[in-house]
Amino acid sequence: MSSGSASSPFQMKHWPLASSICRRLRGLPVLHSCRARHHPISHGSTHRFKISSSPRPPHTHKLPAPLFTQGPPSTPLLSRPDCRPGHEDHMVLRIESGDSDVCSECWDKAVLFAAGTDPYVLMEEAVIVAAECSGTAKPLRAKTLPPTLDSFGWCSWDSFYSTVSAQGLDDAVRGLRAQGTPPRWVVIDDGWQCTQVDAAYRDDPLKAFRRGNGEESSTNSRESFVEGEFEALELAARGIPAAGSAGAMLREVRSSLDPEGAPPIDAEMMALQKTGGLATGEEGRRGRHLWRRPFVISLTLDLLGYVGGRITGFFSFLLIMFYQNVVDPAPTGSWPARLWTWAALRSLREPLVQFMADSTNFTRRLTSVRANSKFSSPRARPEDVSSGAPADLASVVSHLRSVHGVAWVVCWHALSAYWSGVSWESPGMARYAPRLVYGAPTPGVAEVEPSAAWNPAVLGGVGWVGDMGALFEDMHAYLAAAGVAGVKVDAQAGVGFVGHASGGGAAAAARAHAALEASIAVHFPANLAVNCMCHSTENIYAWEGTALARVSDDFYPTDASTHRPHVAACAFNSLFFSGVAHPDWDMFQSEHRAAALHAAARAVSGGPVYVSDSPGRHCVPLLKRLVLPDGGVLRALRPGRPTRDSLFLDVCCDARSCLKVWNLNPRGGVLAAFNLQGSAWDWGRRRYRTHEAAPPPLPARAAVWDVEPYRGAPSGDRFAMHVDGAEGVLVVDAAGGVDLQVPSGGAVMVTVAPVVTSPDGQVSAAPLGLANMLNCGGAVRDFHWQTSPENGRPAAPQLSVEVRGCGTLLAYCSREPGRAYAQGVQTNWWWKEGRLEVSVPQGDGASTQTVVIAF
SS3 assignment for 27-69? CCCCCCEEEEEEEEECCEEEEEEEECCCCCCCCEEECCCCCCE
Q: Does an H or E element contain 768, and which?
A: strand 764-770
User: Does a structural domain hold residue 478?
Assistant: no
User: Does a structural domain hold residue 116?
Assistant: yes
Cα(555)–Cα(567) distance, integer angstroms: 10
Give the pLDDT mean for 482-495. Answer: 96
pLDDT band at 38 (very low <50, low <70, confident <90, very high): low
pLDDT band at 278 (very low <50, low <70, confident <90, very high): very low
Cα(257)–Cα(255) distance, integer angstroms: 6
Q: Are residues 700 and 799 in the same domain?
A: no
The three-class DSSP label of residue 837 is strand
Q: Are residues 134 and 17 in the same domain?
A: yes
244 pLDDT more than 80:
no
What's the pLDDT at 50?
53
User: Does a structural domain hold residue 591?
Assistant: no
Q: 498 and 465 in contact (C-beta within 8 Å)?
A: no
Residue that terminates a domain, selected from 142, 164, 191: 142
User: Which range has the worst mean pLDDT, 107-121, 157-171, 201-215, 802-816?
Assistant: 201-215
What's the pLDDT at 506?
87
Residues in the chain: 855
Q: Are residues 806 and 744 in the same domain?
A: no
User: Please, is 792 exposed, middle or buried when counting C-beta atoms within 10 Å of its C-beta (0-12, 13-18, 19+)?
Assistant: exposed
What's the pLDDT at 687?
86
175 pLDDT more than 50:
yes
704 pLDDT more than 60:
yes
The three-class DSSP label of residue 225 is helix
User: Does a structural domain hold residue 539?
Assistant: no
Q: 812 and 835 in contact (C-beta within 8 Å)?
A: yes
Mean pLDDT, the chain, whole residue set: 84
Give the pLDDT mean for 184-210. Answer: 81
What's the pLDDT at 236?
54
Q: Are residues 761 and 804 in the same domain?
A: yes
Q: Are residues 764 and 708 in the same domain?
A: no
What's the pLDDT at 414?
98
Cα(532)–Cα(548) distance, integer angstroms: 9
DSSP conformation letters of 674-729: E--TTEEEETTTTEEEES-SSPPPEEEEEEGGGSGGGTT--TT-EEEEEETT-S--
pLDDT band at 28 (very low <50, low <70, confident <90, very high): very low
User: Does a structural domain hold residue 66?
Assistant: yes
- Bridge partners (DSSP) listed for residue 94: 14, 82
Whole-prediction pTM:
0.86
**Hey, how many other C-beta atoms are within 10 angstroms of the C-beta on 53?**
8
Edge-to-edge strands of the sheet including 641-642? 641-642, 659-665, 668-674, 747-754, 718-723, 730-733
649 pLDDT more than 90:
yes
21 pLDDT more than 70:
no
Q: Can you count the helices (H) and strands (E) in the chain?
A: 21, 42
Cα(116)–Cα(403) distance, integer angstroms: 53
Residues 6+ apart with CB under 8 A from 596: 622, 746, 747
User: Which range has the worst mean pLDDT, 104-113, 169-178, 582-591, 824-833?
Assistant: 104-113
Cα(576)–Cα(129) distance, integer angstroms: 12
Cα(137)–Cα(543) distance, integer angstroms: 5
Cα(328)–Cα(323) distance, integer angstroms: 6
252 pLDDT more than 70:
no
pLDDT band at 536 (very low <50, low <70, confident <90, very high): confident
Q: In 3-state terms, the chain is what percent helix, strand and coil (to 5)?
A: 35, 25, 40
Cα(55)–Cα(428) distance, integer angstroms: 51
67 pLDDT more than 70:
no
Query: What share of the chain in percent tops pLDDT 90?
Result: 60
pLDDT digit string (tens) for 369-385?
999 999 999 999 999 99
pLDDT band at 464 (very low <50, low <70, confident <90, very high): very high
Pick from 508, 420, 489: which is nearest to 457 by CA?
A: 420
What's the pLDDT at 328?
81
DSSP conformation letters of 279-331: SSHHHHHHHHTS----HHHHHHHHHHHHHHHHHHHHHHHHHHHHIIIIITTSP
Pick from 289, 269, 259: which is nearest to 167 by CA?
A: 259
Q: Are residues 81 and 58 in the same domain?
A: yes
The type of residue at 668 is: G
Q: Are residues 747 and 760 in the same domain?
A: no
pLDDT digit string (tens) for 730-772?
999 999 999 999 999 999 999 999 999 999 999 999 999 999 9
52 pLDDT more than 80:
no
DSSP conformation letters of 541-602: TT-SS--EEE-SS---TT-GGGHHHHHHHHHHHHHHHTTTSEEE---B-SSSTTHHHHHHHH
pLDDT band at 275 (very low <50, low <70, confident <90, very high): very low
Q: 439 and 461 in contact (C-beta within 8 Å)?
A: yes
Q: Are residues 9 and 122 in the same domain?
A: yes
| More confidently predicted of 777 and 71 | 777
The type of residue at 28 is: L
Report the b/e string of 128-148 with b at 16+ CB within 10 A: bbbbbbbbbbbbbeebeebbb
CA distances from 722 to 358, 748, 754 (A): 55, 11, 12
CA distances from 288 to 280, 299, 302 (A): 9, 19, 19
What's the pLDDT at 844?
76
Give the pLDDT mean for 787-804. Answer: 80
Q: Are residues 734 and 826 in the same domain?
A: no
Cα(663)–Cα(634) distance, integer angstroms: 12
pLDDT band at 47 (very low <50, low <70, confident <90, very high): low
Q: Does an H or E element contain 112, and which?
A: none
Report the b/e string of 730-756 with b at 16+ CB within 10 A: bbbebeebbebebebbbbbbbbbbbbb
User: Does a structural domain hold residue 738?
Assistant: yes
pLDDT band at 484 (very low <50, low <70, confident <90, very high): very high
Residue 134 belongs to what domain range?
A: 2-142
Indicate which CATH number applies to the domain containing 792: 2.60.40
Q: Are residues 331 and 285 in the same domain?
A: yes
Cα(50)–Cα(62) distance, integer angstroms: 12
User: Which range has the worst mean pLDDT, 71-75, 208-212, 525-529, 619-623?
Assistant: 208-212
User: Does a structural domain hold residue 169?
Assistant: no
Report the b/e string of 176-191 with b at 16+ CB within 10 A: bbebebbbbbbbbbbb
Residue that terminates a domain, selected from 286, 321, 336: 336
User: Does a structural domain hold residue 172?
Assistant: no
Query: What share of the chain in percent tops pLDDT 70?
Result: 76
Q: Are residues 799 and 711 in the same domain?
A: no
What's the pLDDT at 683?
81
pLDDT digit string (tens) for 505-514?
888 999 999 9
Number of domains observed in the structure of the chain: 4
| More confidently predicted of 213 and 500 | 500
Residue 732 — left, alpha, or beta (φ > 0 → left; ψ -120 to 50 → alpha)?
Answer: beta
User: Which range has the worst mean pLDDT, 45-59, 257-271, 667-681?
Assistant: 257-271
690 pLDDT more than 80:
yes
pLDDT digit string (tens) for 294-326?
555 555 556 666 666 667 667 777 877 888 888
Maximum separation of any 2 CA atoms in the chain, in Å = 104
Q: Are residues 58 and 101 in the same domain?
A: yes
Residue that terminates a domain, selected from 142, 176, 193: 142
